[in-house]
Amino acid sequence: MPLCLLDHPLAAHFVTHLRDKTTKPATFRTLAYQLSLLLAIEATRDLPTIEKTVETPLESTPGRVLAQPLVVIPILRSGLGMMQPFLDLFPNVSVGYIGLERDHETARAHSYYCKLPPLAGSRVIVVDPMLATGGSAAQALSLVKAGGAVAPRLVCIVAAPEGVAEVEKTHPELTIHTAALDRALNARKYILPGLGDFGDRLYGT
């Protein structure tokens, strides 16, 4: 399974400020936007294009335009913090939602909402900022595959080796894009060094 680690000085800069516990929610949201923009560009690098001829003010010229519709599916609630760059870059994107809540005691994911647009024939990207145990991501990916997605991508901000291994086990064909691959999970299944609870830091809860 390909694991694509975003390699860009700006990505390292944004991740470091996201990790900083003194970063306030407003700045955290901006950093999450900026980093997700870089990730969105990386995760769509190989989108197919088709030839299209356009008229410039001077003459006709062949060009290329996107050939495949894009669907982005944030895992609620923290995935919402990565959505906006996809909407900005791809105005025609369709958005699905999967609500998976993590029990803080057992660290197990429980699905409370799933609304998906038609997925067959589209490039499908699931966004989940923190790939910790991998349980939520693997469950979300199973839901999107059951909905017709072929070879969906997973885009996250920080991944733990345990989460990568879990997704690899359940979805070996899948590509994961991440801005950081961290050391490990702690006993409460938080990523180390990580950045804490992404949703809490995003929304100041």
* Residue numbers at the binding site for ligand URA (CB under 6 A): 78, 130, 132, 190-191, 194, 197-199
- Measured CA to CA, the distance from residue 11 to residue 40 in angstroms comes to 12
- Tell me if residue 21 falls in helix, strand or coil: coil
Q: Which is nearer to ligand URA, 148 or 199 (CB)?
A: 199
Q: What are phi and psi of 192, to 5 degrees?
A: -115, 130
- Measured CA to CA, the distance from residue 193 to residue 185 in angstroms comes to 9
Cβ-based neighbours of 45, under 8 Å, separated by 6 or more? none
Q: Which is nearer to ligand URA, 71 or 82 (CB)?
A: 82
- Measured CA to CA, the distance from residue 135 to residue 140 in angstroms comes to 9
Q: Which is nearer to ligand URA, 40 or 132 (CB)?
A: 132
Q: Which is nearer to ligand URA, 122 or 133 (CB)?
A: 133
Q: Give me the active site residues, please.
A: 102, 106, 197, 200
**Shortest spacing between CB 191 and ligand URA, in angstroms:** 4
**Shortest spacing between CB 114 and ligand URA, in angstroms:** 20
- 101-110: long-range contacts, CB 8 A cutoff, minimum separation 24: 102/136, 102/189, 104/188, 107/132, 107/133, 107/135, 107/188, 107/189, 108/135, 109/135, 109/136, 109/139
Q: Which is nearer to ligand URA, 28 or 90 (CB)?
A: 28
**Shortest spacing between CB 192 and ligand URA, in angstroms:** 8
Cβ-based neighbours of 30, under 8 Å, separated by 6 or more? none
**Shortest spacing between CB 36 and ligand URA, in angstroms:** 15
Q: How many CB atoms lie within 10 A of CB 113?
A: 10
Q: How many CB atoms lie within 10 A of CB 166?
A: 19
**Shortest spacing between CB 102 and ligand URA, in angstroms:** 7
